[in-house]
């Protein structure tokens, strides 16, 4: 039997090439070696207020982009978190075995709490719900970026604590696979990871950006004061552009050196833009085709929900029994 993989993405902001190269593209490859569940985590999104109509539209958009990028619904379950009520249910059950101190220590919570005037309880509980997402399916492997590592450690701690209190119940998941994906930085500020939520028109290249828009952003990207590409002394902006090119073309390090050494930045950027546009074109084309038939997307999300529900329901049933909750015959 194949090991199970679970991962999720929030339906907020606009998916960009960093999400594609760092996560989505790896997920597409994982599908063949693992039994995968990829989830649109809308319950996580609402830990911060989202305009309802916009959120609903984003969920469809992210689902469409997953499919357009190559997630194959015949072998992989594509789900919307809130459509499987057991996520929220297990979230509560796990909340009750999680010490408050563990949650208050989370660096992402601390950063968000500092930035906001008032913070919802959901922001504190966020990592418990994430633990529930993973443990609900006894996922063995959870591919996530570095920023989610602490949450995954917490997931393991919660699973171990539950197992020691109530008996072996959960598989303690591996943090992630070694990430082969590129870490894409902001075009305007190459010291910061490309982010869905960073405002500013020159920061990220959206997967649905028009070719001209994407090209313009690349041509304006921050470089450094060298006159041309020098692999020894280049700054983070040039390194980022080369990284993006390499990720889209799969060129070797040797080829990169031979081709780009001494190239002026204007030419470098033109070539990066060509590589990005060539990579995005088939995704955008499939996306446009998919979205012409709203019923198709809906049916994929129904199938995903129906496929994972028996597993989720089975685990919640076991957890409730172990915890001593009363079971009334259906």
CB of 134 to ligand TRP, least distance (A): 5
Q: Among residues 63, 69, 78, 130, which is the contact residue for ligand TRP, using CB under 6 A?
A: 130
Catalytic residue among 193, 216, 270, 320: 193
CB of 314 to ligand TRP, least distance (A): 19
Largest separation between any pair of C-alpha atoms in the chain: 75
Q: How many helices and strands (H and E) does the chain possess?
A: 14, 3
Q: Are 319 and 311 within 8 A, CB to CB?
A: no
Exposed, middle or buried by CB within 10 Å (0-12, 13-18, 19+), for 259? middle
By beta-carbon proximity to ligand TRP, the closer residue of 133 and 188 is 133
Query: Is residue 317 annotated as part of the catalytic site, yes or no?
Result: no
217 binds ligand TRP (CB under 6 A): no
Task: Tell me the residue length of the chain.
Answer: 330
- In the 8-state DSSP scheme, what is residue 115? H
Catalytic residue among 2, 74, 112, 269: 112
24 binds ligand TRP (CB under 6 A): no
44 binds ligand TRP (CB under 6 A): yes
CB of 174 to ligand TRP, least distance (A): 12
By beta-carbon proximity to ligand TRP, the closer residue of 142 and 154 is 142
Query: Is residue 193 annotated as part of the catalytic site, yes or no?
Result: yes
Q: How far apart are CA 159 and CA 316, in angstroms?
A: 14
6 binds ligand TRP (CB under 6 A): yes
93 binds ligand TRP (CB under 6 A): no
DSSP string of 13-72? S--BHHHIIIIIHHHHHHTTTSEEEEEE-HHHHTTS---HHHHHHHHHHHHHHHHHHT--
7 binds ligand TRP (CB under 6 A): yes
With vertex at residue 124, the alpha carbon angle to CA 103 and CA 138, rounded to the nearest 5 degrees, is 70
Query: Is residue 112 annotated as part of the catalytic site, yes or no?
Result: yes
Is residue 101 helix, strand or coil?
Answer: helix
From 127-135, 190-198, 280-288, 296-304, span contacting ligand TRP (CB under 6 A): 127-135
Residues that bind ligand TRP (CB under 6 A): 6-8, 10, 41, 44, 130, 133-134, 142, 144, 148
């Amino acid at each position: 039997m194949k090991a199970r993989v679970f991962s999720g993405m929030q339906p907020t902001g606009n998916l960009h090439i960093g999400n594609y190269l760092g996560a989505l593209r790896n997920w597409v490859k994982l599908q063949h070696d693992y039994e995968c569940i990829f989830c649109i985590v809308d319950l996580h999104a609402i830990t911060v207020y989202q305009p309802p109509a916009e959120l609903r539209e984003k969920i469809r958009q992210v689902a469409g982009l997953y499919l357009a990028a190559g997630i194959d619904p015949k072998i992989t379950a594509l789900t919307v978190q809130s459509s499987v009520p057991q996520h929220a249910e297990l979230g509560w059950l796990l909340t009750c075995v999680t010490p408050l101190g563990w949650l208050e220590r989370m660096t992402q919570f601390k950063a968000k709490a500092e930035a906001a005037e008032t913070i919802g309880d959901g922001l504190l509980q966020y990592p418990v719900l994430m633990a529930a997402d993973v443990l609900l399916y006894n996922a063995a492997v959870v591919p996530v970026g570095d920023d989610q590592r602490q949450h995954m450690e917490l997931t393991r701690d919660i699973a171990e604590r539950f197992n020691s209190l109530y008996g072996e119940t959960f598989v303690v998941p591996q943090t992630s696979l070694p990430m082969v994906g590129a870490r894409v930085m902001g075009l305007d500020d190459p010291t910061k990871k490309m982010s869905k939520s960073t405002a500013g028109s020159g920061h990220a290249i959206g997967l649905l950006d028009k070719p001209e828009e994407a090209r313009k952003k690349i041509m304006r990207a921050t470089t450094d004061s060298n006159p041309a590409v020098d692999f020894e002394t280049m700054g983070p902006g040039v390194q980022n552009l080369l990284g993006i090119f390499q990720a889209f073309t799969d060129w070797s390090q040797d080829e990169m050196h031979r081709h780009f050494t001494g190239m002026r930045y204007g030419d470098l950027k033109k070539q990066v833009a060509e590589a990005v546009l060539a990579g995005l074109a088939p995704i955008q084309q499939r996306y446009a085709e998919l979205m012409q038939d709203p019923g198709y997307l809906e049916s994929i999300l129904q199938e995903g929900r129906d496929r994972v529900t028996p597993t989720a329901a089975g685990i919640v049933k076991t957890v409730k029994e172990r915890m001593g909750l009363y079971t009334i015959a259906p």
